[in-house]
Amino acid sequence: MPGNNKRDYYEALGVARSANDQEVKSAYRKKALQYHPDRNPGNKEAEERFKEAAEAYSVLADPQKRAQYDRFGHAGIRGTEFAGFDTDIFADFADVLGDFFGFGDLFGTGRRRSRQSYPQKGNDLRYDLSISLEEAASGKKTKIKIPRQETCDACGGTGARAGTGPTTCPQCQGHGALRYQQGFFSISRTCGRCQGTGSLIADPCARCRGRGRVRREKILEVRIPAGVDSGSRLRISGEGEAGDRGGPPGDLYIVIHVEEHPFFRRQENHLSCEIPVGFTQAALGADISIPTLEGGEERLHIPEGTQTGTVFRLKNRGIVSLGDGGKGDLFVAVSVVVPSKLNKEQKRLLEEFARVSDESVHSPQKKILEKVRDIFG
């Protein structure tokens, strides 16, 4: 059972003995944030609480140690407690404690160094490119202008004048960080003199002013493949910004935006459109011309009696698929157009048509009413 001078580990973290691993981790994180020395400078009680929580977690997070502790109490894990616990327990909270407090170098783990003290990959860049539906269907080559940071060719990215070079920072001895003893803890802080780089530039490059990079615009020729759609992303490796301190360049991502077309609508790799036809064409049937996205025409036969809303399918007249190279179809919806003005002869002929069809144009259409009654019983 627990000794007289130590609190029960479950009590120290505020969890039940049946707590699972995730509950133990969450409880420890809460205690660590609450009692961390950076939040409680000079507070000895908070320091002890933090130490107590870390000791409890170092045992309860290890299945073997936890089993020993559950069976024999503190006596079961004597010699394996906080004085020699594994600092890997903090890796679970690097995203919360590390970035917030500089936690990675706590206890001398040496895991975290200033980001500036080693080569870094350059930033990725994004370029938004608008193209027409025709260009999306056929693909295109185009030139784009990219503003970006590039390695200074005068100093080769060192930031120092040609013929010279950076010198080791005398304050941190090139480590980029200074270590301080704060009571129980050994805490590492970024070196203020070299800003974490570990080196100083006594004679900076005149062109880049010691930064090692300069801003330029580069013109790139890129090929847009056929079949792209809005939201498609094209990655061009190594065309992002130059890396820092000799790091590799980032990548360029081209994000495609396809403009709306005045006639065609797109759904995946299919196209659709609406074609107006005269009511005599719809009634008698006709062959009509359908414009295609490529700029040509396609013949379409409208059978007699075609109604508004009828959809015809033209195979392989859509857009090529970016994945497998197959082509979609073109769907043509018919809209029957009734003339808004008729001359006397047209009216006479239509009235004659109505007469022989037993339709009345001057009184309610009984046959239509009868059909409606048939439908609804």
Residue 242 lies in a domain: yes
Dihedral of CA atoms 210, 212, 217, 219 in degrees, nearest 10, equals: 160
Same domain, 271 and 248: no
Same-domain pairing of 137 and 254:
yes
Q: Which residues contact 230 (CB under 8 A, 6 or more apart)?
A: 256, 257, 258
Co-location of 322 and 282 in the same domain: yes
Q: Mean pLDDT in each 10-residue stretch from start to end of the chain (377 residues)?
A: 69 92 90 82 85 88 87 71 43 44 43 52 93 94 93 86 86 82 64 82 88 90 94 93 84 95 93 91 90 89 92 93 86 90 85 74 52 55
Specify the 3-state DSSP secondary structure of 327.
Answer: strand
CATH number at residue 366: 2.60.260.20
Range of the domain at 135: 125-166+201-258
**pLDDT, position 370:** 60
188 is a domain residue: no
Rounded to 10 degrees, the C-alpha dihedral 202/207/213/217 comes to 170
Give the total number of structural domains in the chain: 3
pLDDT given for residue 100 in this prediction: 44
Residue 63: give its domain's CATH number.
1.10.287.110
The pair of three-digit structure tokens given for residue 327, joined into one six-digit string? 């082509």
Nearest one of 334, 332, 127, 94 to 102, comparing CA atoms: 94
102 with 131, same domain: the answer is no
- Structure confidence by residue, pLDDT tens digits, 7-58: 899 999 999 999 998 899 989 988 888 888 777 877 888 888 888 888 888 8
What is the model's pLDDT at position 256?
95
Using one digit for the tens of pLDDT, what is the confidence trace for 255-308? Answer: 999 999 999 999 999 999 999 998 888 888 999 999 988 888 889 999 999 999
CB 338 within 8 A of CB 280: no
Residue 98 lies in a domain: yes
- Give the tokens for residue 274: 């609406």
Residue 120, domain member (yes or no):
no
